[in-house]
Amino acid sequence: MKPYIYITRKLPSEVAEAIQAKYEVGMWGKENIPVPKALLIEEAKKADALLTMLSDPIDESVLNAGDRLKVVANLAVGFDNIDLKTADKRGIAVCNTPDVLTDTTADLTFALLMATARRIVEASELVRQGKWKSWSPLLLAGHDVHHKTIGIVGMGKIGETVAKRATGFDMEILYHNRSRKLEAERNLGAVYSTFEELVSQSDFIVCLTPLTDSTKNLFSREVFRKMKKSAIFINASRGPVIDETALYEALVDKEIAGAGLDVFEKEPISADHPLLKLPNVVALPHIGSSSIETRMTMMRLCLDNIDAVLSGKDPLTVVNKEWKVRV
């Protein structure tokens, strides 16, 4: 009997076909709708491996559903949707997809920064809606990006890659991180700052920090009040890092100039979300790593991790280093 892999989202046929000779594969048949929790638990009861999305809650009820599960491969760098303590207790390897999406996510982050600064979405809608009647000196005038100060909160690999892109715009680079990044300081001219210094001095504050107990609601109303009134806030990390009510109030009260958001506290958001009512907010549907090339690479890495564990080998990118497959 072949080991059974369950995939929680519809993947391209060429990806799934590559493993069907060796494994039995089950797959949720819809691309844009999450697998129902009850069905996920039923599949987990018989699965040797799960290939999951960041939006799937892989909690205790899923991990304890059966006695065959050996590996969960998450199609993301983040893994805050997975109960690591239970996975460790059950001897289940949890894998992610680091490194392969660094450049792509940095591209999107900087694109979001530029779109927000230069009011690209507003300008496009003006044309599409037939409201462009004439040229005027300050028609949809935005903010320059070049020669400004960018402050990066969370200087991991993606943060460093965003900083690299900022050098092309002759930007001053501040960063805040749990540890100093001396190589980035040498090679990119990045300057380590306290969180308070970065927030108050930066023209663009870019949030790339992971979601932890200490970073949840890191960006509060008090923090937004410390920013420049001309500051633009960008979040491409995790939604709960921001107090969304505080951000909304800061924008309405003109305490900051704008925000570009690829992530939200609860996803997907509804069309009546307060932040979507504001013209100085650019909102994207969590597409940081969404290029064809990168997403295909991520899928294959997930399957390579699964194949390694089910073949008795060490996975390529394991999160919980102390995992041990149950005998």
Query: What residues form DSSP beta bridges with 176?
Result: 153
User: Is residue 286 flagged as an active site residue?
Assistant: yes
d(CA 132, CA 286): 30
Would you state the CATH architecture of domain 4-99+292-310? Answer: 3-Layer(aba) Sandwich (3.40)
Averaged over successive runs of 10 residues, the pLDDT of the chain (327 residues) comes to 95 88 93 92 98 96 97 95 95 96 97 98 97 95 98 97 98 97 97 98 97 95 98 97 98 98 95 97 97 96 97 95 69
Q: What is the pLDDT of residue 277?
A: 97
102-283, CATH topology level: Rossmann fold (3.40.50)
Q: What is the pLDDT of residue 327?
A: 38
Active-site annotation holder among 238, 244, 255, 295? 238
pTM for this entry = 0.91
Closest C-alpha among 28, 31, 55, 114 to residue 265: 55
Distances (CA, A) of 45 to 49, 63, 66: 10, 9, 4
User: Is residue 267 flagged as an active site residue?
Assistant: yes
Q: CA gyration radius for the chain?
A: 22
Active-site annotation holder among 17, 125, 267, 293? 267
Q: What is the pLDDT of residue 17?
A: 87
Domain residue ranges in the chain: 4-99+292-310, 102-283
Active-site annotation holder among 90, 119, 176, 286? 286
Phi, psi of 91 (to 5 degrees): 70, 35
Domains 4-99+292-310 and 102-283 share a fold: yes
Q: What is the pLDDT of residue 325?
A: 60
- Please return the burial class of 15, using the count of CB atoms within 10 Å of its CB with bins 0-12, 13-18 and 19+: middle
Q: How many helices (H) and strands (E) does the chain have?
A: 12, 12
Decide if 127 contacts 243 (C-beta within 8 A).
Answer: no
Decide if 93 contacts 321 (C-beta within 8 A).
Answer: no
